[in-house]
């Protein structure tokens, strides 16, 4: 018996997914568990596997198409079976029907005379027909009129400069844009920065690598220290919901990973309960999965605090933006050789900048400053640092 392949719901907020690449085509034989299509959601790119062995009898959605959750995208069966008779024209969700009806009503109210093909193209390209000059009989708007309007919109930017290329925003880029705008518009964000003597951090990292044989990054150590410190700074591990501050019972640290298509933040769950080696291994695994587009929804969910390290790009200091609904994010700059003043003497050591952005609605500056100062003190104290990461 054949089996429908539908667009899966990979998160509570997911409503649709985009077909990125079909690994198989109609008529191809597939085995159960074999990759058949790559999809992209607002947060991740992942692969859907064949639910059964058989033949791909029909593909309903083409590459680049956005498909609502639960809608059939392919049918796998045996020769002779008949795929469900669903056409692309019938694969429109109710919310889209409503929008289309609203557009049609708006056109009627404005008494815009246009051909069916012109209306269809205008809907697809987001063109307002009331702004299009019709050249057909009696001022009728034709498909060619819509194409001219589309060309005029894409030829020049808002700056009046000719456009060389138009790049549609990917679902991931749209989500990043939405969340960053939401973050800055809804939170009272303040950033505190501090230069830290990182000489002991460099030394202890080398010690850990020699002792464990593991490749330990500075981010791994910062995650370990931060997760431990958050236990005594609960307002930095919280959410603000309405007029209630909710202190969270788990410390889950998100690590910002840069990809070609955008930024993704996989999460190390219960980081405060894990050793530096466990954190390092998990961080490496998550980063690899992110770069290979193999992150699952669980890998990027339930973060309570985020660490963003731009040191590998030779950035000294920056202002990180909070990942909502979290209340804080720690930015980590590069570690570089610098003159270090200790008492009345100067020596050559290593320094780094730490930048803590926090939501001033939830906590005050002195609370955030205390957290940052304690973190810096641990990094600068050799024995305390060794004890915290051992």
> Rounded to whole angstroms, how far apart are CA atoms 263 and 12?
20
64 with 18: CB under 8 angstroms? yes
**Interior/surface letters 268-283, b for 16+ CB within 10 angstroms, e for the rest:** bbebbebebbbbbbbb
Give the phi and the psi of residue 43 in degrees, each rounded to 5.
Answer: -115, -35
155 Cβ contact partners less than 8 Å away, ≥ 6 residues apart: 162, 163
DSSP string, 49-64: EPSSSEEEEEE-S-TT
Residue 320: asked if its preceding bond is cis (omega within 30°), the reply is: no
Catalytically active residues, by annotation: 360, 364
Own/partner pairs, 310-315, CB within 8 angstroms, 24+ separation: 310/334, 311/218, 311/335, 311/352
Residue 20, phi then psi, degrees to nearest 5:
-90, -50
What gap in Å lies between CA 145 and CA 124, rounded to an integer?
15
- Joined together, the tokens standing for residue 328 give 């804080």
Which H or E run contains 365?
helix 365-380
Note the Cα 25 to chain centre separation in Å: 29
């Amino acid at each position: 018996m054949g089996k429908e392949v539908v667009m899966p719901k990979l998160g509570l907020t997911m409503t649709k997914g985009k077909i990125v690449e079909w690994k198989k085509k109609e008529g191809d034989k597939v085995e159960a568990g074999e990759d058949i299509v790559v999809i992209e959601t607002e947060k991740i790119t992942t692969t859907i596997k064949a639910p059964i062995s058989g033949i791909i009898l029909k593909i309903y959605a083409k590459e680049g198409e956005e498909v609502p959750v639960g809608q059939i995208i392919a049918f796998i069966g045996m020769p002779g079976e008949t795929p469900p008779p669903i056409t692309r024209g019938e694969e429109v969700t109710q919310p889209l029907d409503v929008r289309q009806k609203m557009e049609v009503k708006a056109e009627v109210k404005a008494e815009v005379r246009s051909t069916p093909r012109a209306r269809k193209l205008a809907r697809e390209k987001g063109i307002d027909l009331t702004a299009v000059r019709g050249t057909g009989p009696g001022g009728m708007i034709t498909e060619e009129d819509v194409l001219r309007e589309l060309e005029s919109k894409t030829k020049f930017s808002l700056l009046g400069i000719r456009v060389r290329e138009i790049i549609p925003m990917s679902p991931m880029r749209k989500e990043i844009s939405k969340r960053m705008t939401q973050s800055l518009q809804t939170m009272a964000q303040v950033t505190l920065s501090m230069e830290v003597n990182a000489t002991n951090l460099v030394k202890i990292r080398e010690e850990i690598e020699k002792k464990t044989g593991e490749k330990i990054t500075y981010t791994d150590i910062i995650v370990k220290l931060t997760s431990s410190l958050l236990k005594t700074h609960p307002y930095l591990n919280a959410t603000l919901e309405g007029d209630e501050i909710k202190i969270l019972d788990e410390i889950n640290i998100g690590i910002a990973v840069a990809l070609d298509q955008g930024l993704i933040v996989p999460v190390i769950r219960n980081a405060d309960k894990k050793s530096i080696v466990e954190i390092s291994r998990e961080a490496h695994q998550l980063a690899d999965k992110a770069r290979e587009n193999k992150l699952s929804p669980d890998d990027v969910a339930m973060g309570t605090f985020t660490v963003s390290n731009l040191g590998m790009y030779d950035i000294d200091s920056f202002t990180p933006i909070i990942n909502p609904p979290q209340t804080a994010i720690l930015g980590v700059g590069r570690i570089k050789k610098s003159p270090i003043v200790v008492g009345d003497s100067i020596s050559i050591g290593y320094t780094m900048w730490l930048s803590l952005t926090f939501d001033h609605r939830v906590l005050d500056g002195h609370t955030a400053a205390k957290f940052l100062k304690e973190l810096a003190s641990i990094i600068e104290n050799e024995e305390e640092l060794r004890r915290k990461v051992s």
